[in-house]
Structure 1
Amino acid sequence: MTAKIAQLHPERPDVRLYEQIALSLKNEGVVVYPTDSSYALGCCAFASTAGRRIAQIRGENFQSQRLTLICPNLSKLSEYANYDKNTYRLLRQCTPGPYTFIMSISRSLPRRLADRRKHIGLRIPDDPVVQGILEHLEEPLLSATLIFPEDDAPCGDPSEFPKSLSRQVDWIIDAGVRSRGETTIIDCTGNTPHIVRQGLGSDPFASN
């Protein structure tokens, strides 16, 4: 298997390519795609085996892997997480953007993902390519940051992808150079949301 390469311009969407990528995702495909922080590995959240492929690429165990769902908007995000009004206001303030929210899972989360997990990461990236994928997929993406064992930062430049990657995934979406940054992680599982990792997203509590 050799990955197909898709060059997608953020402001000039190619509907045909988006449709092909979405079809691949619906059929257990794994893609490398850009976000508003760095590049990431993604599959359909409802795929039965693709999530394990992502864990294998990253050298992790699927059952212990930290999972992140990529959603197009708050309406879709609310289907998979439980949160209160204060957290909702925080979500409205920070999304879309380079934030990951750790939240308590809802019963709508697929059992395969919820198994032995109480919490999950959720994101709404501010990136037109991601939004295009989600629009055609009509489901969330299960996602993990693209970072290689020899690196200490995520990959943001497609020219730096190792050749071996093209044998491990179905599509590589080249949307140009992105940052090598990480998202700001906010834990929303307790009474008071708090930052557990400061990344590209500014501190939403700084002015409070």
Structure 2
Amino acid sequence: MQTRHIIVDPVNPEEEALQEAAAVIENHGLVAFPTETVYGLGASAYVDSAVAKIFAAKNRPATTPLLVHVSDAGQVAELVTGIPEVARLLMQKFWPGPLSIILPASGRVPAVVTGGKSSVGLRMPSHPVALALIARTGPLAAPSANLSGRPSPVTAADVKADLEGRIECVLDAGPTGSGIESTVLDLSVHPFKVLRRGGTALEDIEAVLGERLDTYAAGHREALHGQVATRIIIARDEKDFKQQLDKWSGAGPVGVVYYNSDSAQGTDRNRKNYELDLTGRHGSLYTILRDAETIKLKTLLFSPFPLERDGITAAVIDRIYEAAGEHRPTG
């Protein structure tokens, strides 16, 4: 299969490009498209055979649920049994944007989308290209457009590196915004639960709900550990950072990740410094992980995290621990 690469304006997407991509969806094919978080891999949410192609292209287990992307409230009503007031409040506050909401699924949603569950995750992206495409195609089942377990794609080049020849089309609108996936909130249970930290801060959601939220892992994130060739090390404190840097610098090329531009200055033949914005506004973790692999760094050392770890910072740190194969410390 030849993957078509369609360049599209990120703010005012051209009609011709949208029509070409929409035709692929209508013919039950797969389209990678930009969102404000990462690139998604879309298929019509109502066509079982099309959705099944997502799992095949990504090498992803078919038992895992997929988020469905919508462009308006009318599409939401068709996908769920009802929209409770709390969901309406959250949609009004955070949509379009990086918040996915899980609600009881209607009979129209195929089991292949829900992973056999009775609920479905919904999100309205804010990226103009995504909204324009979905307005033409209807709801799209869309996980991240990468091989399962690989770093999420923040550019069309990332998508093609993983999925070239495995999907029909890539809509290339340049780099995405935050480079961190959406927050996933389950409203089908009570108390409500956060299944994944992401681009909408928990504190902001709690302010709307007026209650604290539980968080736990529940299969809405593909594990990175073991799928990234570079060894990931997280320094506990400054003393540990210096010891780890000395240790791994003698074991081949090493990358060092800092969280401000001053510390990240400078490099040499056996060391490359990176700057990562833990607020998710600039500089993507996934870009760093892919670059480290490309230039064949043996080790990627993360400097000690700041003490303040709320908001989007907490979501980014979750991904770093995950890439390192560690559990995030609590307390």
TM-score (norm: length of structure 2): 0.57
Compared with structure 1, are the counterparts of its residues 120 and 18 closer, same or farther at alpha carbon in structure 2 (3 Å cutoff)? same
Q: Partners in 2 of 1:149 and 1:109 — Cα distance?
A: 23
Matches within 5 A, 1:43-58: 43-58=43-58
Of stretches 140-149 and 127-136 in structure 1, the one that deviates more from structure 2 is 140-149
- Report if aligned partners of 1:42, 1:144 keep a CA contact under 8 Å in 2: yes
Matches within 5 A, 1:130-169: 130-137=130-137, 139-149=138-148, 151=150, 153-163=151-161, 165-169=163-167
Q: Partners in 1 of 2:26 and 2:47 — Cα distance?
A: 7
Aligned residue number for residue 98 of structure 1 = 98
Match of 1:125, SS?
coil
Q: Partners in 2 of 1:146 and 1:87 — Cα distance?
A: 27
Q: Partners in 2 of 1:19 and 1:147 — Cα distance?
A: 24
Match of 1:18, SS?
helix
Aligned residue number for residue 234 of structure 2 = none
- Report if aligned partners of 2:65, 2:114 keep a CA contact under 8 Å in 1: no
Matches within 5 A, 1:102-121: 102-110=102-110, 113=113, 116-121=116-121
| Amino acid paired to 1:19 | Q
Counting matched residue pairs gives 205
Once the two structures are TM-superposed, the CA of residue 108 in structure 1 deviates from its matched residue by 3.2
Compared with structure 1, are the counterparts of its residues 18 and 24 closer, same or farther at alpha carbon in structure 2 (3 Å cutoff)? same
- Report if aligned partners of 1:181, 1:200 keep a CA contact under 8 Å in 2: yes
- Report if aligned partners of 1:27, 1:47 keep a CA contact under 8 Å in 2: no
Once the two structures are TM-superposed, the CA of residue 202 in structure 1 deviates from its matched residue by 2.2
- Which string of whole-angstrom CA distances, capped at 9 and with x for unpartnered residues, describes residues 12-37 of structure 1? 32111111111111101101111111
Aligned residue number for residue 275 of structure 2 = none
Q: Partners in 1 of 2:114 and 2:33 — Cα distance?
A: 24
Aligned residue number for residue 60 of structure 1 = 60
Match of 1:49, SS?
helix
Of stretches 188-197 and 5-14 in structure 1, the one that deviates more from structure 2 is 188-197
Match of 1:79, SS?
helix
Q: Does 1:14 align with 2:14?
A: yes
Q: What are the ranges of 5 or more consecutive residues in structure 1 without an aligned counterpart? A: none
Compared with structure 1, are the counterparts of its residues 112 and 185 closer, same or farther at alpha carbon in structure 2 (3 Å cutoff)? closer
- Which string of whole-angstrom CA distances, capped at 9 and with x for unpartnered residues, describes residues 143-181 of structure 1? 111233563x31102233444622111101111011431
Q: What are the ranges of 5 or more consecutive residues in structure 2 without an aligned counterpart? A: 211-331
Q: Does 1:72 align with 2:71?
A: yes
Match of 1:21, SS?
helix
TM-score (norm: length of structure 1): 0.88
Structure number, greater radius of gyration = 2
Aligned residue number for residue 201 of structure 2 = 202
- Report if aligned partners of 1:182, 1:200 keep a CA contact under 8 Å in 2: yes
Match of 1:122, SS?
strand
Compared with structure 1, are the counterparts of its residues 91 and 165 closer, same or farther at alpha carbon in structure 2 (3 Å cutoff)? same
Higher-RCO chain (CA-CA 8 Å, sequence separation at least 6): 1
- Report if aligned partners of 1:147, 1:155 keep a CA contact under 8 Å in 2: yes
Compared with structure 1, are the counterparts of its residues 86 and 164 closer, same or farther at alpha carbon in structure 2 (3 Å cutoff)? closer
Q: Structure 1 vs Structure 2: percent identity of aligned residues?
A: 21
